[in-house]
């Protein structure tokens, strides 16, 4: 029996749009609700969300068998960090702050077993192998790993073609906020220069045959990114959605007592 098929990797390879939802609450209950809400993938954020291995495990377990596929973003692209996330059963990764082809190649390697990579072999102890119930896991795991590189700086965009040429990279995800900050436009994602850089990058990624990804919480912006070739599109997040809904609800009822 081989490793489970990764539906996100398959869909992106076929050019199908995959709609995602950010998870930063580190809550298995929220992950379970979101995983059955109609999204194609959920981003379990350990870079800016308060996630640990234990909270990631709980969310992966809560999503088990759900229509949405988990994508894990580690706090940093280091082999000692991602190896445990791999053993938890994560198959899709968004690796942050990648600026060069060499860093992209290192990211691919850390997510794969030898000889294609440098992932440590401890599958007999891991949830990824069904706790040693999948006999062919080590032999088949590599082909189901989805590697999405996050480009978030001017240097990354300058090196974009070289990054896209790295074997094993399934897609490149633009980080608008960090890119804007690096362009001296912190908090101004809608700046004309930032928008032009994003649009050009999405076009180059799409033309390469790799999946272009980005986050857009506004419907008009999301539609524009889709027209520009985005195929891995995040359209909202748990913290943002809950925060806005809670504030709107409180404001509505406070109006009754004003």
Whether the upstream peptide bond of residue 80 has omega within 30° of 0, thus cis, is: no
**Is 36 annotated in the active site?**
no
Per-residue tens of pLDDT for the chain, all 258 residues: 899 999 999 999 999 999 999 999 999 999 999 999 999 999 999 999 999 999 999 999 999 999 999 999 999 999 999 999 999 999 999 999 999 999 999 999 999 999 999 999 999 999 999 999 999 999 999 999 999 999 999 999 999 999 999 999 999 999 999 999 998 876 666 778 889 999 999 999 999 999 999 999 999 999 999 999 999 999 999 999 999 999 999 999 987 876
What pLDDT sits at residue 191?
79
In this prediction, residue 245 carries a pLDDT of: 97
Give dist(CA 141, CA 84) in Å, integer: 15
Using CA atoms, how far apart are residues 64 and 68, in angstroms rounded to an integer?
9
Question: What domain range is 124 assigned to?
Answer: 7-257
SS3 sequence of 237-251: EHHHHHHHHHHHHHH
Residue 88 lies in a domain: yes
Structure tokens, 190? 């809608």
Give the pLDDT score at 258.
63
Identify whether the C-beta of residue 102 lies closer than 8 Å to the C-beta of residue 142: no
Question: Which pLDDT score, from 0 to 100, does residue 187 have?
Answer: 61
Q: Max Cα separation, the chain?
A: 68
What pLDDT does 255 receive?
A: 75
On whether residue 126 sits in a domain, the answer given is yes
pLDDT on residue 190:
72
What span, in angstroms and rounded, lies between the C-alpha atoms of 246 and 224? Answer: 29
Query: Does residue 2 fall inside a structural domain?
Result: no
Do you know the residue count of the chain?
258
For residue 126, give every residue at least 6 positions away whose Cβ sits within 8 Å of its Cβ, in sequence order, or none: 86, 87, 88, 89
Of the chain, the end-to-end C-alpha distance in Å amounts to 65
* 74 within domain boundaries: yes
Residue 1 lies in a domain: no
Domain count, the chain: 1
CB 41 within 8 A of CB 92: yes
The answer to whether 45 touches 173, Cβ cutoff 8 Å, is: no
The answer to the question of residue 33 being in a domain is yes
CATH number of the domain residue 217 falls in: 3.20.20.60
Is 30 domain-assigned? yes
Q: Is residue 203 part of a domain?
A: yes
CA distance 54 to 139: 27
User: 3-class DSSP state for residue 166?
Assistant: coil
Which of 5, 10, 48, 186 is catalytic? The answer is 48
């Amino acid at each position: 029996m081989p490793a489970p098929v990764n539906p996100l990797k398959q869909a992106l390879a076929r050019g199908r749009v995959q709609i995602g939802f950010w998870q930063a609450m580190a809550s298995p209950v929220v992950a379970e609700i979101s995983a059955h809400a109609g999204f194609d993938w959920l981003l379990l954020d350990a870079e800016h969300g308060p996630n640990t291995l234990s909270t990631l495990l709980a969310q992966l377990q809560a999503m088990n068998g759900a229509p949405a596929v988990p994508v894990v973003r580690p706090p940093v692209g280091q082999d000692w960090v991602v190896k445990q996330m791999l053993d938890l059963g994560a198959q899709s990764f968004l690796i942050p702050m990648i600026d060069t082809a060499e860093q992209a190649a290192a990211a691919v390697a850390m997510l794969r077993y030898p000889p294609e990579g440098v992932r440590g072999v401890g599958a007999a102890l891991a949830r990824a192998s069904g706790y040693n119930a999948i006999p062919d896991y080590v032999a088949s795991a590599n082909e189901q790993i989805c590697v999405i590189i996050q480009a978030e700086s001017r240097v990354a965009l300058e090196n974009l073609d070289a990054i896209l040429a790295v074997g094993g990279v399934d897609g490149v995800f633009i980080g608008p906020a960090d890119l804007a900050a690096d362009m001296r436009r912190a908090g101004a994602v809608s700046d004309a220069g930032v928008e032009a850089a994003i649009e050009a990058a999405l076009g180059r990624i799409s033309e390469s045959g790799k999946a272009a990804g980005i986050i857009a919480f506004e419907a008009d912006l999301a539609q524009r990114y889709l027209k520009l070739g985005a195929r891995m599109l995040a359209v909202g997040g748990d913290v943002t959605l809950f925060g806005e809904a809670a504030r709107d609800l409180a404001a509505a009822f406070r109006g009754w007592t004003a």
